[in-house]
A and B are shown apart, each in its own frame.
Chain A
Amino acid sequence: MTVSTKDLVKIYGSGETSVTALDGVTLEFRTGELTAIMGPSGSGKSTLMHCLAGLDTATSGSVRLGDTELTGLPDKQLTLLRRKRVGFVFQSFNLLPALTAEQNIRLPLDLAGRRPDPALWNHLIGRLGLATRLNHRPGELSGGQQQRVACARALITQPDVIFADEPTGNLDSASGAEVLAFLRLSVRELRQTVIIVTHDQVAASYADRVVALADGRVTRC
């Protein structure tokens, strides 16, 4: 068991203007599985991901990553947790424009003062076909290439779990398929745990398991 929530509630604002984004979510995500969280806009799927990744704090309830309880964890520990145990892939790639592809991939390790595992590095660069693009800045890469750099950045730290927020949202279908296939492969080859948030049925079809949300509640798991 990698990630789990119990009675997770997230309320934005207070009083009459408050919005309940998550309304008692209890879920378990198993190690070495690719899970897709689906739901229409406003269903709370992004909020759920933010809470799972320690980016946002829950109003009540519990979020556990392995043995660590995230609710109530101070910022310093959350930062270290993100650095070592969580990887992210975003819809809008979110690479640092000033850094080259290689520097972007190494960034989480550099922040932690670590060096990449050479075997893993070669494996990722080879699988993602980035060997010739390492010295390019994001501005010089196609959308698909940028997202593959983002995948490498997420995987290089060997995190407990990777969160991918609409990873194919800004890609054409061919590039999207490449990225999804790679995530699928990393689950099989590296026993990586991946959680994808999406409303794309195609993306969901790569998943081992689909969790559906609506109005902050789990409707299928």
Chain B
Amino acid sequence: MLTFVLAGLRYRRARLLLSSVAVALGVAFVSGTLLLNASMNASYYSRFATGAANVAALVAAPHSGNPPGQFGGQTVPRSLLGTIRDIDGVAAADGRVIGPAAILDPATGHVAGNGFGVNVTAADPSLSGFTLVSGHLPDAPDEVDIDKSTAADEHLTVGQQVKVVTSTGGIRVFTLAGTISTGVNPGIGNSTVLAFQTSEAFSVTGQSSYALIVARARPGVSQHSLATRLAAVARGYQVQTGAQFASEEANDTTGVGSVLTTGILIFAAIALIVACIVIYNTFGILIAQRSREFALLRCVGASRRQVFRAMLGEALCVGLASSAGGLLLGIALSWVLGHVLAPPGTGPAPLVIAPSAVAVAVITGVVVTVGASVLPAAAATRIAPVAAVSGAGALAAVTRRSSWLRVAFAAVTAVAGLALTLAGLHTKIPAGLFEVAAGGCVFFLAVLALGPLITPPLVALLAAPWRAVITRMAVANARRNPHRIAASTAALTIGVTLMTLFTVVFSSVQASTDAAIAGHYPFDYVVETSGSQLVPPRVVSALDRAPGLSTVASVYTQHTTVNGHQLLLGAYSHDALGVMLKPKMVAGSLAAVGPGTAAAGSGRVGSFIEVSTPDAGTVRLRVVAVYNVSAYRTPVPDVLISTADFVRGFRPAGPGAVVIDASPGVSTASSRAAVNAAVASDPLLKVDTLADYKATLNSGVDSILDLVTALVALAVLIALTGISNTLTLSVIERTRESALLRALGLTRGQLRQMLLTEAVLMAVVAVLLGGGLGIGFGAAIIGSMEHSGNGIGTLSVPFGHLALYAVIAAVAGMVAGVLPSRRAARTDLLTQLRD
């Protein structure tokens, strides 16, 4: 039997290639996403390994809710460094300084973005938490290194003079010694980073102690044991291993990363299902075509078991070969995606070929192929031996459940799916999201089950306006085998459903972000300083006097201890509360906040909070309003108090920021000019418009959208291969019939046209079904998110995009039909008739 399998494989190379393509694409998709995932994870960690590189253990201030070393937290005294250096097992230790610093844009004379000053750890520069990109590390007090993206943005070259703004507002001139990379870092990433010698870092940033002390272990000393030794001397401080540090900070940056990981795995699963349908379909048709051959085998004495084994053997070989091919394709794919999706300026993620990802992809490829061919193989064993000798090749017996059973199954799954979805709508995410997703999958089963019943009438309905004989024949051909057309459209339906679903969801997330920002921050301009500077009162009064501005509100923020927790405390001018700051309210109103009272992001109205202040001691305030602090991507302070209480408690030299609303009817150009004129006297101030802010917040969402689109496009590609496959095989199956039509006077052109029409009809049906399902379940997912009150709730259906998808899918359907129709038209008429 092995001879038979191998000979069959060799003989049918071309035809098996079709099914192999489906398997290979499926495996490519799975391995590609898994590898990309592994690579992205590695990249997140290796970018953190920039921060945690060589760090075996570290000491930071007591846990403040922020990752260790993030600017704004508490610090570690310099005196601790000497103690740590004396610990046995410490190869090197040094303190890291992080504080505010900025450079002046040579062109405008204004501050170029918020920035941080850090130090080179002289004891062991490899512990600095950044890597040198070009030039050298500062080895003189007047030298500075700048992060490579700022250097590029500001067109700075090594050796050039750079004006640095210190924490006290002074300006000092340094020489640019080199450029550095800090990786993606929640504390300092994406900002200007200036690296100095340690003494200069202290003086520029105004810090007097270390943000954290990092230590490298001697060979043979584990991270864990070093951390234990550090903890023994650093009582009262937070001690972590390098690995903990890396993963904590990675999680902090990549909250999006884990969503992405889950999303990608879901995609991989979906790709597998699509591939499964395509493979099942292909094998089913292959077996139908070869029914005569199986009958002959049975005739000469092959048992059912032998026929079954031969089929599975064939599937196993196809599965192995195409999985191997798919794996290579997947590696290439993840490499390309890694390059395409790399955030600007960070470079592509290094390609990590995780053995587990390889194993999972290949095993699933083989299992899916063999699994998908079990039913067709079982069908092959039921072919009667007499089919070999009776003239016409009898079609394989296809398992057909009666239609009432099909309808009953569809009804049950549809109801179950809808019930799950509705339940998900009333459950908080993420559980609710999973329920909606599961509901969608179950509902989809109903659509799949009903496929053979609804697809043929749909095709007929679609083609109804065209009365040409070619169209009618195409419809008749498409309807002839309801199971086949349903199966081949199902794959594309899944692809289109996903594409629509994700477009709707992401478009809605974007709209919601816009709405949330506009809702929470209904102001036009923000005047801020770099680092921890404050806006000078004279600038505030200049803004108050400026023409064309309706509201000028001061914003004060300060990290402090509230009820024993380190929280962000904020105060807004009273006229701005509820107007310019509009968080989602849980109870009470922000307008009620006055001296002696507060609004909080948690807790309940009527409770009391205790705020530690340097100048008024511990202040006890009554909570009069509670709002939702976890609003989507919009930073709202944890606690809001009155400006009067804030000024009494912290005596700030000025507000941290000023938010400004332009008067109605005043043009953006003139209001912007008025704001710029008011701040012109102070080069440390920068003006942000809401549009800039929105762009920053949305860029994250956009990059995910790109990734998702790329992944779903691949699923659609697999599905289209499926359509091409089905059509090719049905063309082969209908060779005789096509020849007969040609003999009766159908031209080659008409034959091609007929097959193309069939392909386009199948694609359009899939697009209609998939589009409807995608919009429906996209809306359900958004509904589920809305219920969770995280700020997403604006449903946005981008009909323009969706129409484009529909056109693309129809065209792709036609392209899928080109090869099979050419094949049908090309072959010789006489041989086909005689065969």
Contacts and interface: CB of A to CB of B under 8 A. Distances in A.
B389 A110 contact: no
Interface residues of A, number: 29
A66 B303 CA distance: 22
Nearest to B381: A75
B300 A108 contact: yes
B304 A110 contact: no
A88 B386 CA distance: 12
Interface residues of B, number: 26
Contact of A98 (B1, B10, B303): B10
Contacts of B7: 96, 98-100, 103
Contact of B389 (A50, A76, A84, A111): A50
A97 B8 CA distance: 8
Contacts of B384: 55
B466 interface: no
Contacts of A112: 301
Contacts of A33: none
A82 B4 contact: no
A56 B390 CA distance: 11
Nearest to B298: A79
Interface in A21-69: 46, 50, 55-56
B831 to A, nearest CB: 12
B8 A88 contact: no
Contacts of A83: 300-303
Contact of B304 (A79, A108, A165): A79
A90 B387 CA distance: 12
B297 interface: yes
A12 B179 CA distance: 89
A80 interface: yes
A153 interface: yes
A100 B386 CA distance: 24
B293 A82 contact: no
Interface in B259-316: 292-293, 296-304, 306
A3 B143 CA distance: 107
Interface of A is mostly: helix
A180 B392 CA distance: 26
A107 interface: yes
B724 to A, nearest CB: 24
Contact of B299 (A55, A100, A157): A55
B720 interface: no
B389 A46 contact: yes
Given A56-B386, A98-B8, A99-B7, A88 B299 contact: yes
Contacts of A103: 3-4, 7
A94 interface: yes
B1 A111 contact: yes
B404 interface: no
Interface string A73-94: 0011001101110001010001
Contacts of B4: 96, 98-99, 103, 107, 110
Given A98-B8, A99-B3, A165 B389 contact: yes
A161 to B, nearest CB: 14
Contacts of B389: 46, 50, 55, 88, 90, 94, 165
A82 B301 contact: yes
Contact of B386 (A50, A108, A110, A157): A50
Most chain B beta carbons < 10 A, residue from A56, A98, A99: A98
A12 B389 CA distance: 17
Contacts of B12: 98
Contacts of B3: 99, 103, 110
Contacts of A137: 11
Contact of A84 (B11, B301, B390): B301
B301 A111 contact: yes
Given A98-B12, A99-B7, A153 B304 contact: no
A80 B388 contact: no
B315 to A, nearest CB: 16
B765 to A, nearest CB: 36
A142 to B, nearest CB: 15
A84 B300 CA distance: 9
A107 B300 contact: yes
A111 B306 CA distance: 8
A97 B302 contact: no
A111 B8 contact: no
B747 to A, nearest CB: 30
B1 A110 contact: yes
A97 B303 CA distance: 20
B365 interface: no
A82 B1 contact: no
B385 interface: yes
A32 to B, nearest CB: 23
Contacts of B299: 55, 82, 88, 94
Given A96-B4, A99-B7, A76 B303 contact: yes
A108 B301 CA distance: 6
Nearest to A153: B300
A96 B4 CA distance: 9
A97 B384 CA distance: 20
A94 B388 contact: yes
A100 B6 CA distance: 12
Most chain B beta carbons < 10 A, residue from A50, A96, A165: A96
Nearest to B292: A94
Contacts of A99: 3-4, 7
Nearest to A91: B389
A82 B300 contact: yes
Interface string A92-125: 0010111110010001101110000000000000
B530 to A, nearest CB: 76
A111 B386 CA distance: 18
A157 B793 CA distance: 76
B296 A96 contact: yes
Contacts of A84: 301
Nearest to A107: B300
Most chain B beta carbons < 10 A, residue from A56, A79, A99, A107: A79
A103 B306 CA distance: 16
Contacts of B298: 79, 82
A80 B296 contact: no
A98 to B, nearest CB: 3
A82 B385 CA distance: 10
Nearest to A97: B11
A200 B578 CA distance: 103
Nearest to A159: B301
B379 to A, nearest CB: 15
A111 B10 contact: no
Contacts of A76: 303-304
Most chain A beta carbons < 10 A, residue from B297, B385, B389: B389
A97 B7 CA distance: 9
Interface in B52-78: none
Contact of B388 (A90, A100, A153): A90
A76 B385 CA distance: 12
A5 to B, nearest CB: 17
A136 B292 CA distance: 21
A79 B293 contact: no
Contacts of A80: 301, 303
A96 to B, nearest CB: 6
A42 to B, nearest CB: 13
Interface string B111-146: 000000000000000000000000000000000000
Contact of B385 (A46, A55, A157): A55
Contacts of A96: 4, 7-8, 293, 296-297
B386 A55 contact: yes
Nearest to B387: A55
12 contacts: A79-B301, A82-B298, A82-B301, A94-B296, A96-B4, A96-B297, A97-B293, A100-B7, A103-B3, A103-B4, A107-B4, A108-B301
Given A55-B299, A82-B385, 6 more contacts: A55-B384, A55-B386, A88-B299, A98-B12, A110-B1, A111-B301
9 closest A-B pairs by beta carbon, nearest first, are A83-B301, A98-B11, A55-B386, A98-B8, A98-B7, A108-B300, A82-B301, A79-B303, A111-B302
